[in-house]
């Protein structure tokens, strides 16, 4: 199924076995499988090369393999036709060569459309629905751009001279002017040939194999220590490249944090996947190690963490793990306990923080619950209050300067919880990697 049978000759048997094949239906026609019938077994952490990358209208990265789609930085592969059904209807075409989301508000007919390039055809989707008349020849929609592309990425002014799309094929680079449809051919000397490319958090990334390089979209220049291992920065994998700088990887990772807190001394702990960062008060140096090494009972993937009276309340699924802060961190006797028993809430939750008092603020969906930790029986002190500014919160942290709410790769600062709950518009957006951890690349 999904365009792959002719490709299996060029793939390993392990990958081919992961591909659901056509079975004969009535009249000898290929039978289309239900999307849930076959569990996709491709593992993004095995070093597989992605064919295309794009960011959807909600800022979620999409990574494409033949017939499959990885959404975001974690989770299993899905069948691509579960999200973009018509890609399965053209069996003479290959896998997705390139993809991007057009994000130019002046371009009314194509703004927020997602484009997929397969061989000599281009598909245009709006809100996951194929636009009428598509697929079309690439030359009809993007005149002057060749077929069988390697990669493509949007490039707005002033990052490019004009609002453009950059197309990659072998050593040739094409800057396509969205307004005039003029094509400026260039060569990016010194940059590897891209198998996929995308713009993320105002930076441009060229993927080659399972490595990546950050590049200047005008010149193709690559600055800094590249290439780097893509799984270290764009995936949530437990194993990383040999010799990698783990602290640099964690502070510069594009994957969102699971939780963040500071203890009574002011030391900051930030958790992501299997690892965490620690920044000691008065010291700008960041340390990183595995969660399993420091909190062996947790292993990985915490949902929320807050600190109270020299203890770390670490919430995972429906359980609370209570650790005494120190070296090593010690799980207190009797823990883990259920979230309902310990804090009076059903799990799971999304974030938790405490603001220089005895009230733990627990975020669950679009509701925030206040729990007085001085009480012997911890129950929400009031009904949950609506958190209308956010559809989904990944983490939160409180400090002397107020509340930081982390959503994806950004955070929003509020003077207090009250100001946040009363707010009707989001404050300025800040980058987690740059402004919390000082990553400059």
The answer to whether 96 and 116 have CB atoms below 8 angstroms apart is yes
Backbone torsions φ then ψ of 225, nearest 5 degrees: -90, 85
CB 35 within 8 Å of CB 87? no
- The token pair that represents 45 in the structure block: 């952490």
**Cα 248 from Cα 216, distance rounded (Å):** 21
* Range among 183-187, 189-193, 326-330, 354-358 rated most confident: 183-187
- In this structure, what token pair is assigned to residue 49? 């090369």
* Cβ density class 272-292: b for 16+ within 10 Å, e for less: bbbbbbbbeeeeeebebebbe
Three-state DSSP class for residue 69: strand
The C-alpha atoms of residue 84 and residue 116 are separated, in whole angstroms, by 10
CA distances from 132 to 81, 112, 123, 136 (A): 18, 16, 10, 10
pLDDT range class, residue 20, cuts 50, 70, 90: very low
Tens digits of residue pLDDT in 371-404: 999 887 776 656 678 899 998 999 999 988 899 9
423's tokens: 């707010």
Model confidence over 231-280: pLDDT tens digits?
A: 877 876 765 555 556 777 788 887 889 999 988 778 889 998 888 888 88
Q: Which CATH superfamily is domain 255-436 in?
A: Hemopexin-like domain (2.110.10.10)
Residue 160: which of 204, 226, 223, 127 has the closest Cα? 204
311 in Cβ contact with 299 (< 8 Å)? no
- Each as own residue / partner, the long-range contacts of residues 106-115 (CB below 8 Å, 24 or more positions apart, any chain) are 106/163, 106/179, 107/163, 107/178, 107/179, 110/178, 112/57, 114/54, 114/56, 114/57, 115/152
CA–CA distance, 343 with 362 (Å, rounded to integer): 9
Q: Is 127 exposed, middle or buried (0-12, 13-18, 19+ CB in 10 A)?
A: exposed
The span from the CA of 342 to the CA of 362, in Å, is 13
Domain span(s) for CATH 2.110.10.10 in the chain? 5-233, 255-436
With a cut of 90, say whether residue 112 has pLDDT above it. Answer: no
Q: Return all residues near 240 (Cβ < 8 A) that are at least 6 apart.
A: 229, 231, 232, 246, 249
> In the predicted model, is pLDDT for residue 135 greater than 50?
yes
Structure tokens at 24: 């004969």
In this structure, what are the phi and psi dihedrals at residue 53, rounded to the nearest 5 degrees? Answer: -145, 140
The per-residue DSSP string of 303-371 comes to SEEEEETTEEEEEETTEEEEEESSSS-EEPTT-SEEHHHHHS--S--SEEEE-SSSEEEEEETTEEEEE
For residues 2 and 19, is the Cβ–Cβ distance under 8 A?
yes
Per-residue pLDDT band at 33 (split at 50, 70, 90):
very low
Phi, psi of 165 (to 5 degrees): -120, 130
**pLDDT at residue 250 in the model:** 81
CATH class as words, domain 5-233: mainly beta
Sheet with 151-155: list strands edge to edge.
151-155, 164-169, 172-177, 183-186
Token pair for residue 1?
């199924």
User: What distance in Å separates the CA atoms of residue 412 and residue 122, rounded to the nearest whole number?
Assistant: 38
What are the pLDDT digits (tens) for 273-306? 888 888 887 777 788 888 888 898 988 889 999 9
CA–CA separation, 258 and 407 (whole Å): 10
């Amino acid at each position: 199924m999904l365009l792959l049978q002719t490709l299996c000759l060029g793939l390993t048997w392990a990958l081919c076995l992961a591909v659901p094949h056509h079975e004969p239906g009535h009249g000898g026609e290929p039978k289309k499988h239900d999307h849930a019938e076959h569990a996709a077994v491709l593992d993004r952490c095995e070093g597989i090369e992605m064919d295309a990358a794009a960011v959807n209208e909600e800022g979620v990265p999409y990574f494409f393999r033949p017939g499959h789609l990885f959404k975001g930085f974690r989770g299993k592969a899905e069948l691509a036709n579960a999200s973009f059904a018509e890609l399965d209807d053209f069996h003479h075409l290959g896998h997705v060569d390139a993809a991007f989301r057009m994000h130019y508000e002046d371009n009314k007919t194509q703004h927020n459309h997602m484009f997929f390039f397969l061989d000599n055809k281009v598909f245009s989707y709006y809100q996951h629905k194929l636009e009428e008349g598509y697929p079309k020849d690439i030359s009809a929609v993007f005149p002057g751009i060749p077929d069988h592309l390697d990669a493509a990425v949007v490039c707005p002014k002033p990052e490019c001279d004009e609002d453009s799309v950059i197309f990659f094929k072998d050593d040739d680079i094409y800057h396509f002017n969205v307004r005039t449809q003029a094509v400026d051919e260039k060569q990016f000397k010194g940059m590897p040939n891209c198998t996929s490319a995308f713009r993320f958090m105002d930076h441009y990334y060229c993927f080659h194999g399972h490595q990546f390089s950050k590049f200047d979209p005008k010149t193709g220049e690559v600055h800094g220590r590249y290439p780097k291992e893509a799984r270290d920065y764009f995936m949530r994998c437990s194993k990383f490249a040999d010799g990698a700088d783990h602290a640099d990887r964690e502070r510069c990772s594009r994957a969102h944090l699971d939780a963040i807190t500071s203890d009574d001394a002011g030391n900051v702990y930030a958790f992501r996947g299997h690892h965490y960062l620690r920044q000691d008060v008065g010291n700008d140096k960041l340390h990183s190690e595995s969660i399993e090494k420091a909190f062996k009972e947790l292993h990985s993937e915490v949902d929320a963490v807050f600190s109270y009276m020299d203890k770390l309340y670490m919430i995972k699924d429906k359980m609370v793990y209570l650790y005494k802060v120190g070296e090593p961190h010690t799980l207190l006797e009797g823990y883990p306990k259920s979230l309902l028993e310990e804090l009076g809430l059903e799990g799971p939750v999304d974030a938790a923080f405490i603001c220089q008092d005895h009230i733990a603020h627990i975020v669950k969906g679009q509701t925030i619950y206040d729990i007085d930790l001085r009480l012997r029986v911890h129950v929400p002190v009031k009904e949950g209050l609506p958190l209308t500014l956010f559809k989904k919160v990944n983490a939160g942290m409180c400090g002397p300067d107020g509340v930081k709410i982390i959503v994806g790769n950004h955070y929003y600062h509020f003077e207090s919880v009250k100001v946040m709950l009363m707010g009707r518009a989001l404050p300025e957006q800040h980058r987690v990697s740059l402004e919390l951890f000082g990553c400059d690349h």
